[in-house]
Amino acid sequence: MSVPTNFGEIFHLVFSKPHAENKNKTYSSYSSVLSTTTFGDSPTLDHYVKEGREYMKDSSFEGAIKAKNSFEKALSIQPDHGEPLLFHAITRFAPLLDVDTNYTPGLPIENLNELMDLYGVDKQGRDITDWLADYKRDDEMNVTVPDTSPLFSEIQNYIQSVWISEIDAALNDLSSINDDFNLFIKKEEISDDCEEDIEIDYGEVLLIKSALQLFKTACYMVISYDMDVNLKEVLDKMYADIINVNIDLLNKYHSLFMLIANGDHIGVDARTAFINAIDLYFESSAFIRSESDDQKSYKR
């Protein structure tokens, strides 16, 4: 199974309903070949949405970041419009995965590029869709990390301040979309071998929100436990086959794998996010099953 490398293919994998008209809904559709979208009397909004969707055809993170900027401009004109809200919620994660982003050296960790530099990951081959980069290795090909590699708590701070904040912002975007939302992705926007347009409506919006809440749950679980160790020291002892779990880990790091100071509060947040994910999934399922339009699986 091939890995999707552009946002069009991702849409195909996530949203699997062919175009079927439902006269009870107001549709919005766009294709650079077949049609254009107009929103009231605001051609500028139309321009930014079309521009963003053109950028989304690009398989690079640069294209996704440009698309995000276009949708932000569209939302500055009409903050409650469903189409740019949906696309902005999706593309806003692209900068977080960009491995070429600049940063100011020093803690706290600002982005993925800085995180990999701090742990000595090769700069060459950092391509999310075709990863070839490796850690630094010693003469015996064992993975090594710099003496200055940060503690795991710094990664936890990064996850909380950057990723969870971005998830919340995306959820806020999606929560502003009304339940009469409906949109079609033209097959020309997805890939050359697509046979049908893809419909996205409020059911899929709820499904995306459910997935984001589940992702948020996982992030909370990662940041709630103490996992601070001297990674270089642990690796060196492992390679020398002299590590003793009791002496080198449990006795030395007394709070290892225990809840951090505010871990109980984070646990409550994780539980809330997980319950939200379940509720949104069932809400999405109920909405999709109640629809009267064609719900057949998308065929390639």
Tell me how crowded residue 74 is: count the other CB atoms within 10 A of its CB: 27
pLDDT (0 to 100) of residue 25: 41
Which one, of 165, 162, 146, lies nearest residue 235 by Cα?
146
The confidence score (pLDDT) of residue 192 equals 67
Estimate the share of the chain in helix, then strand, then coil, as percent rounded to the nearest 5.
50, 5, 40
Q: List residues bridging with 201 in a β-sheet.
A: 182
Q: Cis link prior to 108 (omega < 30° from 0)?
A: yes
297 Cβ neighbours under 8 A, 6+ residues apart:
16
User: What distance in Å separates the CA atoms of residue 224 and residue 120, rounded to the nearest whole number?
Assistant: 26
In terms of Cβ atoms closer than 10 Å to its own Cβ (0-12, 13-18, 19+), residue 270 is: buried
Give me the tens of pLDDT residue by residue for the chain, a chain 300 residues long.
Answer: 444 444 445 444 444 444 444 444 434 444 333 233 444 444 588 899 999 999 988 767 888 999 999 999 999 999 999 999 999 999 999 999 888 888 998 889 999 999 999 999 998 888 877 889 898 888 889 888 888 889 999 999 999 999 999 999 999 999 999 999 998 888 777 766 767 888 899 999 999 999 999 999 999 999 999 999 999 899 999 998 999 999 999 999 999 999 998 888 999 999 999 999 999 999 999 999 988 766 554 443
Could you tell me the pTM of the whole model?
0.79
